[in-house]
Amino acid sequence: MALLRTDKITMQFSGLTAVLDLNIEINDREIIGLIGPNGAGKTTAFNMITGVYKPTKGQVYYNDKDVTGLKPHEITKFGIARTFQNIRLFKELTVLDNVIIANHLRLKSNLFGSVVRTPGYRKEEQQIYEKSMALLKDVGLDDLKDEKSSNLPYGKQRRLEIARALATDPKLLLLDEPAAGMNPQESHELMGFIREIRDKFDIAILMIEHHMQVVMGVCERIYVLDYGVTIAEGLPDAIQNDPKVIEAYLGVD
């Protein structure tokens, strides 16, 4: 059984078809790439999977359960987390507080417990602190826990955003252009980092990325979109030599 499966999901906006009949299948612990030129429909696909958009037609299945049209927070509770192309952090909060906030999705204490600070709430609060610190250590940011997140270099902000996503305990992590804005050294380090979090957290990863060295270096299978239509899918070697993919990216003479 696939961890995630989409069945011909389609998204239309005022008659314009952004994605047409997209079928994606992701198994446990796979690292999958979703690539294509600008405007190909990649982020729209992410938005349908994560509940930002309800598909015009088609279904999204997670662990064989139909999750089509659920709200983003409901999708996250099921075990699907994501990052965004434009980093979304609480800029004025510390690195640690950014991760602590993300943990509250799984908070068991109620409002009363948090107001009067019951023993159960204090225990859970300590557990969240310890979990957040462990996550920051996993992404190499524990020594910056008290730094304001807006002061971090771009590459470290990306890592913090991933730590926030991991705090929700996902089994599937969606990364939207994680190498965007990174220099070659940071991009190279990112490939190892993605493999590390897959192995350490025992998760599957679906990533949108324009940096072909990162895509070919870390993805095990790749889907290619062009104008919302899947034009190729398969192993990295086959994808980078596919004439349709080359034409989509480079055009033809």
Sign of the dihedral defined by the CA atoms of residues 79, 146, 199, 175, in that order: positive
- Residue for token pair 């940071």: 186
Computed from CA positions of residues 123, 127, 128, 133, in that sequence, does the dihedral angle turn out positive or negative? positive
Beta strands 25-26 and 204-208: pairing type?
unpaired
Q: Which amino acid is at 143?
A: D
Q: Which of the four pLDDT bands, split at 50, 70 and 90, describes residue 126?
A: confident
What's the confidence (pLDDT) of residue 120?
62
Two tokens at 215? 């895509």
Q: Is 35 exposed, middle or buried (0-12, 13-18, 19+ CB in 10 A)?
A: buried
Q: Domain boundaries in the chain? A: 4-79+170-250, 91-155
At 144-199, the pLDDT tens digits run 999 999 999 888 999 999 999 999 999 999 999 998 888 888 888 889 999 999 99
Segment 63-90 shows an average pLDDT of: 92
Is the distance from CB of 84 to CB of 158 less than 8 angstroms?
Answer: no
Q: Can you tell me the distance from the alpha carbon of 92 to that of 81, in angstroms, rounded to the nearest whole number?
A: 23
Query: Does position 248 have pLDDT exceeding 90, yes or no?
Result: no
Question: What is the structure's pLDDT at 4?
Answer: 98
Crossing angle (nearest 10°) for helices 154-166 and 119-138:
140
Q: Which residues contact 151 (CB under 8 A, 6 or more apart)?
A: none
Q: What is the mean pLDDT of residues 68-95?
A: 91
Q: Output the average pLDDT for the chain.
A: 90
| Alpha-carbon gap, residue 123 to 243, rounded angstroms | 58
Task: Give the pTM.
Answer: 0.90
CATH class of 4-79+170-250: alpha beta
Residue 74 has pLDDT above 80, yes or no: yes
Residue of higher predicted confidence among 103 and 9: 9
What does the DSSP 8-state code read for residue 141?
-
10: enclosing H helix or E strand: strand 4-13
pLDDT score of 181:
81
Burial class from Cβ neighbours inside 10 Å (0-12, 13-18, 19+) for residue 113 reads middle
Q: Summarize pLDDT for 1-54 with one digit per residue, the tens.
A: 899 999 999 999 998 999 999 999 999 999 999 999 988 999 999 999 999 999
Q: Rounded CA gap, 11 and 80, in Å?
A: 20
Phi, psi (rounded to 5 degrees) for 211:
-80, 100
- Whether 116 shows a pLDDT value over 60: the answer reads no
Alpha-carbon span 183 to 50, nearest angstrom: 29
pLDDT one-digit tens code per residue, 197-208: 999 999 999 999
